[in-house]
């Protein structure tokens, strides 16, 4: 499988690369829409755990290695994004460059055991429909972002965001309703 992914990296046209991934996903029995546009240097681990709607774009250097990933229609995942754990993304979502969505956390409570050996706590992250996540933001595990919301650039979202809101800052706080 690694050799196949290396082979895919030689494709320079996102539509062609996406077409190959589309066929691969279908052969694995995944539910994936078309077109699927995947830029160069995208890492797609856990392909058996990805379900995506129509018009998904994943930009250069994105790292997507989920426990479970469900993506709606018309989603844009920006340059250098990081997605792992359990993440559900609604329809018409824009995820800016350098956004990190780690849909899981490492456990740390047991004394004398390295953190890396303590396993994961997975709550999952839910991003509603028509959401815009600004560049360089971090959406922590367990957060739910409501429909039609905006997350300002550089924000760290630690708590749920209601529908129709703009949140920004570190930690992200309500800026205003929209």
Which of the residues are catalytic?
106
18: number of Cβ within 10 Å: 23
Name the residue among 44, 39, 42 with its Cα closest to residue 12.
Answer: 39
Dist CA 41 CA 94 (whole Å): 20
Residues, the chain:
178
In angstroms, how far is CA 65 from the centroid of its own chain?
9
Which alpha helices (DSSP H) does the chain contain, by range? 2-8, 14-27
Q: What are the tokens at 175?
A: 């800026």
């Amino acid at each position: 499988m690694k050799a196949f992914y290396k082979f895919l990296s030689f494709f320079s046209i996102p539509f062609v690369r996406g077409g190959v991934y589309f066929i691969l996903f279908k052969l694995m029995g995944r539910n994936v829409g078309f077109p699927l546009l995947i830029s160069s240097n995208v890492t797609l681990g856990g392909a058996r755990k990805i379900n995506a709607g129509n018009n998904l774009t994943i930009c250069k250097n994105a790292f997507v290695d989920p426990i479970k990933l469900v993506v709606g229609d018309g989603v844009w995942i920006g340059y250098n994004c990081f997605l792992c754990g359990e993440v559900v993304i609604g329809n018409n979502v824009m995820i800016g460059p350098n956004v990190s969505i780690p849909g899981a956390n490492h456990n740390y409570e047991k004394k004398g055991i390295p953190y890396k050996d303590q396993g994961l706590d997975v709550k999952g992250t839910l991003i509603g429909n028509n959401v815009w996540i600004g560049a360089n933001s971090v959406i922590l595990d367990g957060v739910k972002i409501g429909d039609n919301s905006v997350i300002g650039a550089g924000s760290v979202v630690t708590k749920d965001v209601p529908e129709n809101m703009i949140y920004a800052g570190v930690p992200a706080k309500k800026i205003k309703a929209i």
